[in-house]
Amino acid sequence: MSSFKLSAKSLKNLEYVHSDLSYVVMRAIEITDTDFMVFEGLRSVTRQKELVKAGASKTMNSRHLTGHAVDLVPFLNGEPRWDWPLCYRVAEAVKIAAIEYSTPIVWGAVWDRLLNGFEKSCEDEVTDYVIRCKSRGEKPFLDGPHLELDKINYP
């Protein structure tokens, strides 16, 4: 059991997020070995347009627009950090929580598989995803903080 808790700002960013995803996030903070914050949950169309324009998002069809996605950013020494080793650790905690709650989650670093179904470490799964993308002639889009409810079970 970790000693981390979601901040008031993180809890506010979870307010309009689907309850199943919120439960997974709240469980993940209890079991993580790496503190994190809910950087974004539900987004406005205006915010999404800004992110697409900046290249930080690829779509105006984001699951953030419906409350089906969150960005969990590792928090270290009082600062948000986007370091991959920390993102892997947060994703591992979310994976455990998603399995516990039987909530199918897609991670923005491996878009073509459910986080709950990973058989390898998150880091190895990202490596495999990049290889799969390149073999199809696609450029992988890696968004380590992004987590969303899968579209099949949560349309």
CA–CA distance, 17 with 90 (Å, rounded to integer): 18
CA-CA distance, 62 to 109, in Å (whole number)? 15
CA-to-CA distance for 4 and 29, rounded, in angstroms? 6
Task: Give the chain's end-to-end CA distance (angstroms, integer).
Answer: 33
The pLDDT value recorded for residue 7 is 95
Tokens of 63: 């699951």
What tokens were used for 107?
A: 């991670």
Given this model, what pLDDT does residue 132 score? 97
Give pLDDT, residue 24: 98
Placement of tokens 């309850």 in the chain: 19
pLDDT tens over the chain, length 155 residues? 678 999 999 999 999 999 999 999 999 999 999 999 999 999 999 999 998 899 888 889 999 999 999 999 999 998 999 999 999 999 999 999 999 999 999 999 999 999 999 999 999 999 999 999 999 999 999 999 999 999 999 99
**CATH for 8-149 (3.40.50.620, 3.30.1380.10, 3.40.50.720, 3.40.190.10):** 3.30.1380.10
Q: With a threshold of 0.85, does the pTM exceed it?
A: yes
Domain ranges of the chain: 8-149
Asked whether 70 and 37 are in contact (CB, 8 A), the reply is no
pLDDT computed for residue 18 by the predictor: 98
pLDDT at 1: 63
DSSP 3-state percent helix, strand, coil across the chain (nearest 5)? 45, 15, 40
